[in-house]
Structure 1
Amino acid sequence: METDCTRDESPAGGGVLTPLPAGTRLLHIGPHKTGTTSIQGALFAAKDEMARHGVAWPATTRHPMEAVLAACARTAMMGDTTPTERHWERLLEQVRATGRRTSVISSEFFADAPEGDTIGRIVEQLGGDRVHVLVTLRPLARIMPSQWQQYVQNGLRMGYGDWLEHMLRKPPYEKPNPSFWHRHRHDRLVERWARVVGPERVTVVVVDDRDREGLTRTFEALLGLPTGLLEPVPDAANRSLTLAETEMLRNLNKEFRANELPAELYSQLVRNGAVMHMKNTCTPGFGDVKIRTPQWAVEAAAEIGAEIAERIEGTGVRVIGDMRLLSAVQLSAAQQPAPRSDPDPRIAPEVAAHALYGALAAAAAAPPRHTAAAKSRTVHQTSSKELVRVLGHRCLKRLRLR
């Protein structure tokens, strides 16, 4: 294994890492919850300055999610507009416009690319042998709580303990989220892409959470950028939910599904309304309980992490960072299992109010849409479940008209 940097050795400052060849198209494929949003924000904010150093950011947004979802033939998040091939073609046009300059494209959804010809097609369209794949990794025990609450933000109704049981103890480990191990069995992820581009054009970066600037320094070194050019960009909308916030949302998901409300309504009012406003306006305090992983799951994740590290070492890809972190069982104090004396998590009234306001504001801001009139029936002829659904539609329609 080639270890180019550790926590005590900066690749950019120490001169250990050499930049990729000029004209490289650096493809950062995530996966999810490995610092992707943070590095995308830093790259997008510095795109003009990077251009002065010969490095292009082809996308017009921080994250070209729709384009990548289309390329990977993956469905959008619950209720969102379905991505089209045109989204992907538009990104390809922007990549081609960079000419012979070095460029960087980043999306964690590239990790969702299925087996088969999809990866080969993506690589070929992005430049073939000019493409260098970058994979960022964190220990599974740190990924799992963040990924669970992200699934809840997309409609999941299963509690964290049950979810861990399914992911770690119930073969074939595909329910309720088959995407999890496709993304986070990191050895297989690296192998899928290395088979297409060759191990010499794959770099794995193990993110050390103790070194907050380590990932940006590594990107600077690989892209040949001056040290310090990339800076973290605060993004409240990307913060993780507390346990109480996640549980509130999870119970809302149960009511939402039980009443068979449309997915579009979830995207608009819940994820992009209530949750987004709550994240942007409410900062978790010292007393807020975070999502904590039980010790048995931490140890199980560490065992899988050791297997992942061993298999990645055998692929011949370049590794930056300490692979031993992938099998670590020591978590931060905030992630340690809660003592039995801890009270049940309770959502603060002001947090609930902000969430409710976010949903109402999203409804009021939405353009009105015309729907066909339903057959006339009395209230007594209608089930209570359907009444809730109809009333929800009517409230949404009135708010849109306002």
Structure 2
Amino acid sequence: METDCTSNDSGAAGAITPLPSGTRLLHIGPHKTGTTALQGALFAAKDTLPEHGVAFPATSRHPMEAVLAACARPAMIGDPRPADRHWNRLLEQVHATGRSTSVISSEFFADAESEATIARIVEQLGGGRAHVLVTLRPLTRVMPSQWQQYVQNGLRTGYEDWLDHMLRRAPYEKPTPSFWRRHRHDRLVERWARVLGPDRVTVVVVDDSDRDGLLRTFESLLGLPENLLRPAPDTANRSLTLAETEMLRNLNKEFRGNGLPDELYSQLVRNGAVMHMKNSCKPSPGDVRICTPAWAVEAAAGIGAEMAGRITAMGVRVLGDPELLSAVPKPAAAETPAAPRIAPEVAAQALYGVLAAAAAAPVRHTAAAKARTVHQTTSKELVRVLGHRCLKRLGRR
């Protein structure tokens, strides 16, 4: 689950100096550093922010399609290719904010590969008015969360095997080349600082012991009243348990092994089974969590210390304690780990999600079905629709 942060600063008496009025604050993530929690809070306060000279110009919590298009990155597996019109629309919304301070937040900005791409994005968003903010958490926290997110996008590699590739097998690019582009945090900060200059880059180090710290830090940076930004719960963003992730990973193997189309994965698996399971099932204290082995924790902490040292030497503004990036979490009490088992109700909800997604898919010449979302269909209607389709297919045969 993505949570929050604390903040120290170089301002008087430890106070955070707000950004200049009219700044276009570009929050680039990276992934799994509190981005979803922050985006939800900003979007929930969207109508109140203008009273304080701040705008959140996006029309959705996260303008993912727009940012993927800007960074020339592919969409999630099976989703439509990002179009330039999405980015152009976001630019129009940003420019319409006039002289207000505006906030654009997407972790996919961290996927921008070249300085030329970064320079173009910065220039289009306002040039000299742009200021970049990077939120960071320790790799030891990021790695399990990022792995299960990759599995939700089709990854078939087990956690320890994935860690082995990321930490032990040079050039550390397979099977997920985006991981170190996002999470070699010193190089990420350096790429953006080269374009904007270090005085226009702020790094916030997330402290997971302070759940609302990130929101308070953003309020200070934007000159907002305290507690204006409030957590906006999002069950669809919760992390999967080990059993849920392993169930999905094995499904990914079957899916790929049988050559099914990517569009089907997007519709039935990610936006069907997984989304419905997340919304309907809350992990219990007894569920087995994703556990990082000691060797990987030590390796990640060492990389974190190296990154923290390089970032603090760059001259960028750092809020929070950089030493947190190399902190080693306390080991859990020694006991034999339980085998991950998927609860029957969780499996049932995942299966129902697939059925709901199939029933809600657009049907030719059926306007009502096109307007229907996945989870707005009753069980009785699902059975009727699916039965009708099966009969039609049998009739064709």
TM-score (norm 1): 0.88
Matching residue of 1:387: none
- Find the aligned partners of 2:105 and 2:390 in 1 and give their Cα distance: 37
Of residues 322-331 and 90-99 in structure 1, the stretch that sits farther from structure 2 once superposed is 322-331
Please state if 1:129 is matched with 2:124.
no
SS of equivalent residue, structure 2 residue 47: helix
Matching residue of 1:74: 73
SS of equivalent residue, structure 1 residue 117: helix
What letter matches 1:242 in structure 2? T
What letter matches 2:315 in structure 1? G
SS of equivalent residue, structure 1 residue 26: strand
| Deviation per residue, 1:82-119 (Å, 9 max, x gap) | 11000000000000000111000000000000113100
- Find the aligned partners of 2:51 and 2:184 in 1 and give their Cα distance: 38
Does structure 1 conserve the Cα–Cα contact (< 8 Å) formed by 2:6 and 2:214? no
Matching residue of 1:398: 389
SS of equivalent residue, structure 1 residue 355: helix
Matching residue of 2:216: 217
Name which of 331, 340, 365 aligns with 2:360.
Answer: 365
Matching residue of 1:44: 43
What letter matches 2:361 in structure 1? A
- Find the aligned partners of 2:182 and 2:64 in 1 and give their Cα distance: 16
| Deviation per residue, 1:164-195 (Å, 9 max, x gap) | 00000000000000000000000000000000
Q: Which runs of 5+ in 2 are unaligned?
A: 366-385
Question: CA 1:172 to 1:20, structure 2 compared with 1: closer, same or farther past 3 Å?
Answer: same
% same residue = 75
Does structure 1 conserve the Cα–Cα contact (< 8 Å) formed by 2:272 and 2:357? yes
| Deviation per residue, 1:17-62 (Å, 9 max, x gap) | 1211010000000000000000000000001111111100110000
Name which of 340, 345, 352 aligns with 2:347.
Answer: 352
- Find the aligned partners of 2:205 and 2:391 in 1 and give their Cα distance: 47
What letter matches 1:360 in structure 2? L
Does structure 1 conserve the Cα–Cα contact (< 8 Å) formed by 2:8 and 2:321? no
SS of equivalent residue, structure 2 residue 133: strand
Matching residue of 1:139: 138
Matching residue of 1:226: 225
Deviation at 1:15, TM superposition (A): 6.3
SS of equivalent residue, structure 2 residue 31: coil
- Find the aligned partners of 2:10 and 2:216 in 1 and give their Cα distance: 7
- Find the aligned partners of 2:102 and 2:392 in 1 and give their Cα distance: 45
- Find the aligned partners of 1:66 and 1:158 in 2 and give their Cα distance: 27
Matching residue of 2:252: 253
1:299-338 aligned at under 5 Å gives the runs 299-331=298-330, 336=332
1:3-402 aligned at under 5 Å gives the runs 16-331=15-330, 336=332, 339=335, 341-368=336-363, 398=389
- Find the aligned partners of 2:334 and 2:267 in 1 and give their Cα distance: 34
Runs of 4+ aligned structure 1 residues displaced above 2 Å come to: 6-15, 336-339, 395-402
- Find the aligned partners of 2:392 and 2:31 in 1 and give their Cα distance: 38
Deviation at 1:286, TM superposition (A): 1.2
- Find the aligned partners of 1:45 and 1:13 in 2 and give their Cα distance: 31
Does structure 1 conserve the Cα–Cα contact (< 8 Å) formed by 2:115 and 2:192? no
Does structure 2 conserve the Cα–Cα contact (< 8 Å) formed by 1:367 and 1:400? no
Deviation at 1:81, TM superposition (A): 1.0
SS of equivalent residue, structure 2 residue 48: helix
Does structure 1 conserve the Cα–Cα contact (< 8 Å) formed by 2:8 and 2:16? no
SS of equivalent residue, structure 2 residue 204: strand
- Find the aligned partners of 1:152 and 1:33 in 2 and give their Cα distance: 14
Does structure 1 conserve the Cα–Cα contact (< 8 Å) formed by 2:7 and 2:205? no
Question: CA 1:303 to 1:235, structure 2 compared with 1: closer, same or farther past 3 Å?
Answer: same
- Find the aligned partners of 1:203 and 1:8 in 2 and give their Cα distance: 12
- Find the aligned partners of 2:295 and 2:9 in 1 and give their Cα distance: 34
Question: CA 1:400 to 1:21, structure 2 compared with 1: closer, same or farther past 3 Å?
Answer: farther
SS of equivalent residue, structure 2 residue 98: coil
- Find the aligned partners of 1:251 and 1:259 in 2 and give their Cα distance: 13
Does structure 2 conserve the Cα–Cα contact (< 8 Å) formed by 1:79 and 1:267? yes
Of residues 177-186 and 113-122 in structure 1, the stretch that sits farther from structure 2 once superposed is 113-122
Deviation at 1:330, TM superposition (A): 1.8
- Find the aligned partners of 1:235 and 1:7 in 2 and give their Cα distance: 21
What letter matches 2:251 in structure 1? L
What letter matches 2:263 in structure 1? E
SS of equivalent residue, structure 1 residue 342: coil
**How many pairs align?**
369
Question: CA 1:400 to 1:305, structure 2 compared with 1: closer, same or farther past 3 Å?
Answer: farther
SS of equivalent residue, structure 2 residue 73: coil
Question: CA 1:401 to 1:133, structure 2 compared with 1: closer, same or farther past 3 Å?
Answer: farther
What letter matches 2:232 in structure 1? V
What letter matches 2:351 in structure 1? L
| Deviation per residue, 1:227-277 (Å, 9 max, x gap) | 000000111000000000000000000000000000000000000000000
